[in-house]
Amino acid sequence: MLLMKGMALLPFMLSLLVLLHYHNEVHCYGDKQLLHLPWDTVDSTCLSHKSRQEKGATILEMKHQDYCYGGGVKDWNKLLQKRLILDDLRVQSLQARIKNMASTQTHDVSDDRLPLTSGVELGTLNYIVTVEIAGRKMTVIVDTGSDLTWVQCQPCKSCYSQKEPLFNPTASPSYRTVPCNSSECQSLAFATGNTGICGENPPTCNYVVSYGDGSYTRGELANDQLNLGKTPVDNFIFGCGRNNNGLFGGTSGLLGLGRSSISLVSQTKAIFGGFFSYCLPSTQSGASGSLVLGGNSSVYNTSSPISYTRMIPNPKLSTFYFLNLTGISVGGVTLQDLSFGKSSMLIDSGTVITRLPPTMYRALKAEFQKQFSSFPTAPAFSILDTCFNLSAYQEVDVPTIKLQFEGNAEMKVDITGVFYFVKTDASQVCLALASLSFEDEIGIIANYQQRNQRVIYDTKGSKLGFAQESCSFT
């Protein structure tokens, strides 16, 4: 279905990074999804994130970072384009970290090796929740590709600007630093790739985490009481950041949902059994999703059955979540590529655009272009090379993309995760998947394609689950 816009119709905007409002609902027709246009931007303010407990699970409201901190953006075109560049730097960092961990190399980090970069107001890690440390509310970025949870602390040698007050350890009677000879300090090498550093007077454990895109945090390892909604976590190990810079926006820090011993998942295993899930919302006005800690699936609002695939074990890369991609279909057409099922893929909530091995991506690109050939093309941009000019259309039928995983698990990519709008007037609209540089690099299932899905992590059963869900916090 193609409907042309009138000359006086305002240009539309669609992006993971823009605050949006749907004019109409999205309908599905067989192997296509109908995308209604235009979409309007909405100026919004971030309300306090909610939480609740239900049937033994703790549920935290989750929102996109831009919903809270994107209201002051003046040039969305520039921001959208910069985001792709920064996302590519994150992927390069992940690939380098994976190679280093696979070769069992760790690094001693000193002051003169701290990466430096110019500050950027908005980051590439997009989804946020609110937690409490020692009774202070902290809005933090959720990242399954990181292990150490950290927040900015007073006094701060160098901190980026955040919306909430900095955490003040001296105001918390339960705050304790972690000794440098402790097992927690020694675990930093495996969790972050950097060994802990012994401070002086007293000999506390100092940490540094660099994210490859120029962002970094360094400070001391500490413990205090963490509250997840009304669920307390005593003696929670986290980083108290004294020197932080980069792509964290107005947030207070980061929540690490990786698999090492210092991640939130491991530290709360006695409470939640190593089980969590999320539903990543779109960026439309008022949209919210949820981070569910605990394994009671009856609290989900899924619209399709949950299908599970096993986590692929990798002893040298055991802090990451891997799965086996066995097939892709576009508009009901199954792609033919011999590389399916031969190498594991990383699933990550912090990367924006999904990356596929080159031969696999070329097959997807060719089939999508074949089915979308009636629309005018547009120049490629950055990592995205399958682009169209949709500025003249009011609604379009978009081929449905489905990802198949080992064990007959399937993830149907939501309509909001198919296109990335480089230009807000829709004159440059690109397929929101990209190719890796080399066949031997690790593919990544990123957050853009995970939107409006319930993604379930069962670390005890070593499996991942997928189901369709219109994300909301109800």
Strand order in the sheet with 377-378: 377-378, 387-388, 429-431, 419-421
- Please, is 353 exposed, middle or buried when counting C-beta atoms within 10 Å of its C-beta (0-12, 13-18, 19+)? buried
Phi/psi at 208 (5° precision): -145, 135
Distances, alpha carbon 7 to alpha carbons 1, 11, 182, 393, 422, in Å:
19, 10, 67, 11, 21
Name residue 188's amino acid: L
Is 5:393 a contact under the CB 8 Å cutoff?
yes
**Host H or E run for residue 264:** helix 264-267
Alpha helices per DSSP H over 73-116:
76-102
Active site residue 440: no
Is 426:390 a contact under the CB 8 Å cutoff?
yes
- Helix, strand, coil fractions of the chain, as percent rounded to 5: 15, 35, 45
Bond from prior residue into 202 cis (ω within 30 degrees of 0): yes
Alpha helices per DSSP H over 237-337:
264-267, 269-272
Q: Which of 192, 107, 87 is nearest to 150 (CA)?
A: 192
Q: Which of 402, 88, 448 is nearest to 283 (CA)?
A: 448
Pull the structure tokens for residue 310.
Answer: 């096993």
**Which residue in 66, 87, 88, 143 is the catalytic one?**
143
Taking the C-alpha atoms of residue 375 and residue 387, their distance in angstroms, rounded to an integer, is: 10
Active site residue 348: yes
**Which residue in 348, 397, 414, 458 is the catalytic one?**
348
- Please, is 406 exposed, middle or buried when counting C-beta atoms within 10 Å of its C-beta (0-12, 13-18, 19+)? middle
Alpha helices per DSSP H over 298-410:
358-371
Catalytic residue numbers, as ranges? 143, 348
